[in-house]
């Protein structure tokens, strides 16, 4: 880590701001220099005088402050930091960040910033669960912003419970230290992920495909990168942005996907989230097939290579942890257990893609997933969650299993 890391702490307007005073102390205990920006709403909860007394520096509050502009300015405020930490990050500040608004000092600093950003959200659980906040959080994560918390627990509002409490100052200071050190639970590991559908050509204009969106695989790649891993994402054709900090290799067909996967090895962990087409046309017509004569063209299919099984059955160079997916419409766990044995992988994440899953709009192409994790040790039922949350949980589970060498994977 840097000798004296410089942290710019932006304090938003929420009751959790009182904990930010303790946070300043915790950061300084870890050897950081802390400079504080406060929004005007934050000043309803704590005073710049208190923040300044603890940070031993000027506290900045105004976008157009003649003295401060000459002295520092909002551009320099972020440039002179190694990390920008927003605590508490209110729903309003997150919305401004996600949309690039800059109508006060805090938001202008965040828009001009080029340094890593860590957010400690704090808000009422209903605000955190609101689709607008979900969209903003997903956008910020895709933009490379890191999060610590929020935690679940009792809120300042009486009787309110659920995720929304700001993480504790010690947790935030630890997360900031890890970010400054550039480390996460998967630092030093190479994670290989496949994602999306494949397109299997029939002729120059037609292909066989499926409804996979790539959302789950891309979310896993992004979560692994946030956990510090070097990530290679081999993706079929999708309409998604490249996840931040991930090496993306684009392919079309199953055979191209297998070749790209083999070229990306060795890897410590391989996660096969792609919906690879099981079959391709036995022969690809060189010219567009015409409907002349009224006879229907024959479409003979042959089986594609099974990428997951090929890699899982490798002797030398097999990743230590090989994870497959199973999309089932019935007997989800039993079929997935059989698939785990047949394919030779360590874990299977099984999802119910039937209409009975209860997930609005379906799992394929949708934003939520309900999975069972099947390992040698047994079956874990995970609650329905966003694909981002499933990805985070999988990455945390992987990190935990790698920490236990004698029982892993
Ligand atoms: N998979 C793969 N290469 C293939 C087919 C599947 O790597 N050619 C991987 C997928 O990425 C996923 C898992 O294998 O991790 C899914 O297995 P698959 O055989 O596709 O499941 P189903 O098609 O659901 O199998 P079945 O037809 O037996 O239900």
Lowest mean pLDDT among 68-72, 160-164, 290-294: 68-72
Which atom of ligand 1 lies closest to the CA of 308?
A: 7
Ligand 1 mean position, distance from CA 143 (Å): 31
Which atom of ligand 1 lies closest to the CA of 304?
A: 8
Average pLDDT for 57-84? 79
Residue nearest to ligand 1 atom 27, measured at CA = 278
Q: Is the CB of 257 under 6 A from ligand 1?
A: no
> Is the model's pLDDT at 167 over the cut of 80?
yes
Ligand 1 mean position, distance from CA 343 (Å): 9
% of the chain exceeding 90 in pLDDT:
72
In the Cβ-directed half-sphere of 8, how many Cα atoms lie within 13 Å? 26
Instruction: Evaluate whether 6-180 and 184-402 have a shared fold.
Output: yes
Q: Is the CB of 326 under 6 A from ligand 1?
A: yes
Residue 138 host element (H or E): helix 131-142
Please list the residues that pair with 323 across neighbouring strands: 271, 347
Q: Is the CB of 200 under 6 A from ligand 1?
A: no
Domain covering 6-180: architecture: 3-Layer(aba) Sandwich (3.40)
Under 8 Å between Cβ of 161 and 152: yes
**Rounded distance between C-alpha atoms, residue 277 and residue 10, angstroms:** 48
Q: In the prediction, which pLDDT does 162 show? A: 79
Ligand 1 mean position, distance from CA 214 (Å): 15
> Is the model's pLDDT at 73 over the cut of 90?
no
Lowest mean pLDDT among 1-10, 71-80, 172-181: 71-80
Q: What is the DSSP string of 210-276?
A: ----SHHHHHHHHHHHHTT-EEEEEE-S-SSPPPTT-EEEE--SHHHHHHHHHHH---SEEEE--B-
Ligand 1 mean position, distance from CA 80 (Å): 50
**Rounded distance between C-alpha atoms, residue 390 and residue 352, angstroms:** 14
Q: Is the CB of 327 under 6 A from ligand 1?
A: yes
**Rounded distance between C-alpha atoms, residue 187 and residue 53, angstroms:** 37
Judge whether 210 counts as a catalytic residue: yes
The radius of gyration of the chain from alpha carbons, rounded to an integer in Å, stands at 25
Provide the angle, in degrees to the nearest 10, between the axes of the packed helices 215-226 and 387-402.
Answer: 50
Average pLDDT for 319-340? 95
Residue nearest to ligand 1 atom 28, measured at CA = 339
Q: Is the CB of 276 under 6 A from ligand 1?
A: yes
Q: What is the dihedral of CA 392, 17, 136, 350, to 10 degrees?
A: 20
> Is the model's pLDDT at 407 over the cut of 50?
no
For residue 158, name the pLDDT band (cuts at 50, 70, 90).
low
70: helix, strand or coil: helix
Ordered by start, the domain boundaries in the chain are 6-180, 184-402
Domain covering 184-402: architecture: 3-Layer(aba) Sandwich (3.40)
Q: Please identify which of the residues 124, 130, 151, 210 carries the catalytic annotation.
A: 210
Across the chain, mean pLDDT equals: 91
């Amino acid at each position: 880590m840097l000798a004296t890391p410089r942290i710019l702490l932006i304090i938003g307007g929420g009751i959790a701001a009182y904990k930010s005073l303790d946070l300043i102390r915790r950061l300084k205990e870890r050897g950081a220099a802390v400079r504080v920006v406060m929004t005007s709403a934050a000043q309803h909860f704590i005073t710049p005088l208190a923040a300044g007394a603890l940070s031993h520096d000027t506290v900045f509050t105004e976008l157009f402050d003649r003295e401060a502009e000459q002295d520092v300015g909002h551009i320099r405020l972020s440039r002179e930091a190694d990390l920008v930490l927003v605590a508490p990050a209110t729903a309003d500040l997150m919305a401004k960040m996600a949309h690039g608004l800059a109508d006060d000092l805090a938001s202008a600093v965040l828009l001009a910033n080029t340094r890593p950003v860590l957010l400690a959200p704090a808000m009422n659980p209903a605000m955190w669960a609101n689709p607008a906040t979900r969209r903003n959080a997903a956008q910020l994560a895709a933009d490379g912003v890191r999060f610590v918390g929020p935690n679940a627990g009792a809120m300042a509002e009486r009787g309110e419970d659920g995720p929304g409490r700001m993480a504790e100052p010690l947790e935030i200071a630890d997360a900031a230290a890890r970010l400054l050190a550039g480390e996460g639970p998967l630092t030093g590991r190479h994670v290989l992920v496949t994602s999306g559908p494949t397109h299997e050509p029939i002729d120059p204009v037609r292909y066989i495909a499926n409804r996979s969106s790539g959302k789950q695989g891309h979310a896993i790649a992004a979560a692994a990168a946030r956990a510090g891993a070097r990530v290679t994402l081999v993706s079929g054709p999708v309409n998604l942005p490249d996840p931040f900090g991930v090496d993306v290799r684009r392919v079309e067909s199953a055979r191209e996907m297998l070749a790209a996967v083999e070229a990306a090895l060795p890897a410590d962990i391989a996660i096969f989230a792609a919906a690879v087409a099981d079959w391709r046309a036995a022969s690809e017509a060189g010219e567009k097939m015409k409907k002349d004569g009224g006879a229907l063209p024959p479409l003979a299919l042959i089986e594609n290579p099974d990428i997951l099984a090929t890699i899982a059955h490798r002797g030398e160079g097999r990743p230590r942890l090989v994870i497959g997916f199973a999309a089932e419409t019935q007997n989800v766990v039993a079929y997935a257990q059989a698939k785990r044995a047949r394919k030779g992988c360590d874990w299977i994440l099984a999802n119910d893609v039937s209409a009975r899953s209860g997930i609005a709009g379906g799992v394929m192409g949708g934003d939520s997933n309900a999975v069972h994790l099947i390992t040698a040790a047994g079956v874990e039922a995970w609650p329905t969650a966003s694909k981002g949350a499933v990805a985070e949980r999988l990455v945390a589970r992987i990190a935990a299993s790698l920490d236990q060498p004698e029982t892993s994977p």
